[in-house]
Structure 1
Amino acid sequence: MKKLTTFLCVAAACGSFSAQTLIQAYKNRADLVSQTNITTNLQEFANLGVKTSGSVNNANTLTWIKNKYTSYGYTASQIVENPFTFGSTSTKNLVITKTGTLYPDKYVIICGHFDTVTGPGVNDNGSGTSAILEAARILKDVPTEYSIKFIHFSGEEQGLYGSSYYANNVAFQSGVKKLDIKLVFNLDQVGGKLGNTNNKIICERDTGGQSGNNATSNTMTQQLATCTTLYSPLQTSIASAYSSDYMPFEQKGYVITGFYESTRSYTEHTVNDTFANVDPVYVFKVAKAAVGAMQHFATASTTVSAAKESPAKSLETVKLYPNPVKDILTVELPDSKIKTFTVEITDLAGNPLLKEENQARINISRIANGIYLCTVKAEGSNITRKIIIEK
């Protein structure tokens, strides 16, 4: 949730610090972000409907997120439901903790809200939710010196209730700091709108509130921007943090930073915040940046895995063009050695419309104008991209 009436932008181009250089192990892990996983997460989030705090859909979404962590191998002792009430509404945050090797009691928090209003909220904030899930999947077994908390807040849209409850009742208790938090990194509305030029992300820094944490926030945000350019194809700009789940932490004196889309989608809080309108490729790039940054902030192992690139990773660079397409869709595989592959086109609900084997040029002239999913399968892996048909 972002309220423009209180937003003062201090955008600036952002460069690298000489102290930060590319770490190959970090890049290898950032490159494990899967476009298919991101697209699937966004689709499934959309299918869960409007997720108003306290509703059945909201509770079902928390269960869906929880099941994702279980499927990644996180144990019951790492996954905690954090119930709270505001007014007559009862809902829950979800907190997953990965213990650090050197500083187990000092935390880097990566967070975003999953509640929505009006529409299914695929951009605001299924996008942040999907990126956090992918970061959690990839970092599950990666040693980090600092502990990591992956937090999914509810109650954000009604007034930051979930993050306020956590900051005031878990991080702080009776006015005493209970959690030693190195950084709170918030992802809110990072999905863009399909058709926009989505090649930049805003890195958000603290410029108000408690002035004592502003300088460190600025340093961390500059580091976030540098990580973004090192581990993703995104460009960056710097702007003020405002009106999202990092703010209750800022008010307690913690250091904050965040990601927010650069080219505004303006679908938030409307019925148009749907899977059809979000840009999954942009979310994929944001997730790569987040994985790189989290390794930097939590000081991950720099040991380079000897494992070879998997087919799933190599398929991430498959090209589908032109897009929008009129009659013939060209599929360009990243490896010329791949001779056996399948191309499937479905509608956004997953209903099959076309399937071709080993054909790099696909005739889609019989399919009506609209937005569809194109899945390329090869060597036991697959990748899904959105395509637009316009005649």
Structure 2
Amino acid sequence: MKKIAVFLFTSVALQNIAAQNLIQAYKDRADMVTQANISNNLQEFSNLGVKTTGSTANTDALNWLKNKYLSYGYSSSQMVEDPFSFGSTNSKNLVITKTGTLYPDKYIIICGHYDTIVGPGVSDNGSGTSILLEAARILKDIPTEYSIKFVHFSGEEQGLIGSNHYVNNVAYQGNTRKLDIKLVFNIDQVGGQIGNLNNKITCERDTGGISSNNAASNTATQELAVCTGLYSPLQTSISYAYSSDYIPFEEKGYTITGFYEYIKSENEHSTDDNLTNIDPVYVFNVGKAAVGALQHFAVASTSNNNNLQVNETPAKDPLQNIRIYPNPAKDMITVETEKSKQFSIEINDMAGHLVLSSENQNRINTSALQNGVYTITIKTSAGNLTRKIIIEK
């Protein structure tokens, strides 16, 4: 059972940050999460019954997920089944990969488990499953600099068996790291109890295990909290990560963060974890936060043309010809603009403070900046372009 120890981000502070850092394109997409889609996903998940790992219902849920992704336009080549077994039980994880434009071999993993025990598990974890599906639907044709893996784990309820298998056989093989994972973003039990004041979400950070990845997790979780305030109406709290599918990743040194309901519903692992007791509006709001945060972590395009394909550049938009590299950067960033164009550059930290500015300079010295995530805005006569940059020394 989760005992939540927290410190709160005040709504005033979040609103202040939001006023300075909101990226309109990200918000527009977060607002594309619909209550109808979330509720429909929850209903269909519930209809699949008790999805115990290895059961027929568990296989039915896997096939339901695959058909959902196909209906969104993902190809079968983007979907990989990851089979595993324990004892006489067999099941599969499902992995859908959306390739990044600049860093195709570096991944943001957004994950949640789809297996249940005893009841239909509409909160634990139909809620996270529904949000992953909605995020995949909305971002399908949005270019992101980093690749995204949407991962649906099975075997979570039996002791993180599916995620352990994936980490130790796919992400790692023996002592060799095979997947370069920037961040693991886990969503588990965010259904809320109907009737509770469900206006706050817990953002989970790494506080134990391998200590070398704790600082990076803390930074990512702070960013998750900020994004939640930017792109959803929810308030946030910070707690510690444990007992869900991000843990096997943490144990291999990867950076993790996650969402978990703030007021614990206490319905998990029982027949009471059903549609009657869940708060679908809460799931909807968490979904908006997740879509906003996922765009931030994967560095989504800021163009509002949602029909863009990966590597597609709008021919008539001069702002899209601007290149910013490398990203992540160490001591220098190059900004390529059209020659003879007048432009200025502003770099802000995640609190919205201006930390660096220049005019008509293509090479920007960033050696004085600390490691972290920043926004860079290039202002030209044709308009402004804002991108996320990472300083990583």
Per-residue Cα deviation, 1:43-92 (whole angstroms, up to 9, x for no partner)? 01001000000000000001001100000000011011110001211000
1:1-391 to structure 2, matched below 5 A, reads 3-4=1-2, 7=3, 9-13=5-9, 15-16=13-14, 21-305=21-305
- Cα deviation for residue 149 of structure 1 reads 0.1
Q: 1:44–1:273: structure 2 CA closer, same or farther, 3 Å change rule?
A: same
Does the CA-based 8 Å contact 2:141-2:306 persist in structure 1?
Answer: no
Per-residue Cα deviation, 1:18-39 (whole angstroms, up to 9, x for no partner)? 6971000000000000110000
- Cα deviation for residue 306 of structure 1 reads 9.0
- Cα deviation for residue 154 of structure 1 reads 0.1
Task: Please tell me the root mean square deviation across aligned C-alpha atoms, in Å.
Answer: 1.5
1 CA distance for matches of 2:103 and 2:306?
27
Give 4+ residue runs of structure 1 displaced > 4 Å after superposition: 14-20
**Residue type of the partner of 1:9?**
A
**Residue type of the partner of 2:231?**
Y
Per-residue Cα deviation, 1:179-204 (whole angstroms, up to 9, x for no partner)? 00000000000010111110000000
Does the CA-based 8 Å contact 2:54-2:91 persist in structure 1?
Answer: yes
Does the CA-based 8 Å contact 2:112-2:188 persist in structure 1?
Answer: yes
Q: Taking structure 2 as the reference length, what is the TM-score of the superposition? A: 0.75
Does the CA-based 8 Å contact 2:84-2:90 persist in structure 1?
Answer: yes
Does the CA-based 8 Å contact 1:25-1:305 persist in structure 2?
Answer: no
Secondary structure at 1:223's aligned position in 2? helix
2 CA distance for matches of 1:263 and 1:279?
12
Does the CA-based 8 Å contact 1:58-1:115 persist in structure 2?
Answer: yes
2 CA distance for matches of 1:9 and 1:224?
18
- Cα deviation for residue 99 of structure 1 reads 0.1
- Cα deviation for residue 207 of structure 1 reads 0.3
Q: 1:262–1:8: structure 2 CA closer, same or farther, 3 Å change rule?
A: closer
2 CA distance for matches of 1:305 and 1:236?
30
Q: 1:306–1:59: structure 2 CA closer, same or farther, 3 Å change rule?
A: closer
Query: Counterpart in 1 of 2:372?
Result: none
Secondary structure at 2:117's aligned position in 1? coil
1 CA distance for matches of 2:234 and 2:6?
19
2 CA distance for matches of 1:125 and 1:267?
11
Q: Taking structure 1 as the reference length, what is the TM-score of the superposition? A: 0.76
1 CA distance for matches of 2:235 and 2:32?
20
2 CA distance for matches of 1:306 and 1:66?
23
Secondary structure at 1:65's aligned position in 2? helix
2 CA distance for matches of 1:244 and 1:48?
22
- Cα deviation for residue 305 of structure 1 reads 3.7
1 CA distance for matches of 2:4 and 2:209?
13
**Residue type of the partner of 1:172?**
Y
Does the CA-based 8 Å contact 1:112-1:187 persist in structure 2?
Answer: yes
2 CA distance for matches of 1:304 and 1:189?
31
Secondary structure at 2:275's aligned position in 1? coil
2 CA distance for matches of 1:271 and 1:193?
14
Does the CA-based 8 Å contact 1:204-1:221 persist in structure 2?
Answer: yes
Does the CA-based 8 Å contact 1:12-1:239 persist in structure 2?
Answer: no
- Cα deviation for residue 166 of structure 1 reads 0.5
Secondary structure at 1:39's aligned position in 2? helix
Q: 1:184–1:306: structure 2 CA closer, same or farther, 3 Å change rule?
A: closer
Does the CA-based 8 Å contact 2:6-2:237 persist in structure 1?
Answer: no
Per-residue Cα deviation, 1:220-252 (whole angstroms, up to 9, x for no partner)? 000000000000000000000010000000000
Q: 1:91–1:196: structure 2 CA closer, same or farther, 3 Å change rule?
A: same
**Residue type of the partner of 1:201?**
I
Gaps of 5+ in 1: 308-391
**Residue type of the partner of 2:200?**
K
- Cα deviation for residue 304 of structure 1 reads 2.4
**Residue type of the partner of 1:11?**
F
Does the CA-based 8 Å contact 1:190-1:260 persist in structure 2?
Answer: yes
Does the CA-based 8 Å contact 1:108-1:148 persist in structure 2?
Answer: yes
- Cα deviation for residue 174 of structure 1 reads 1.3
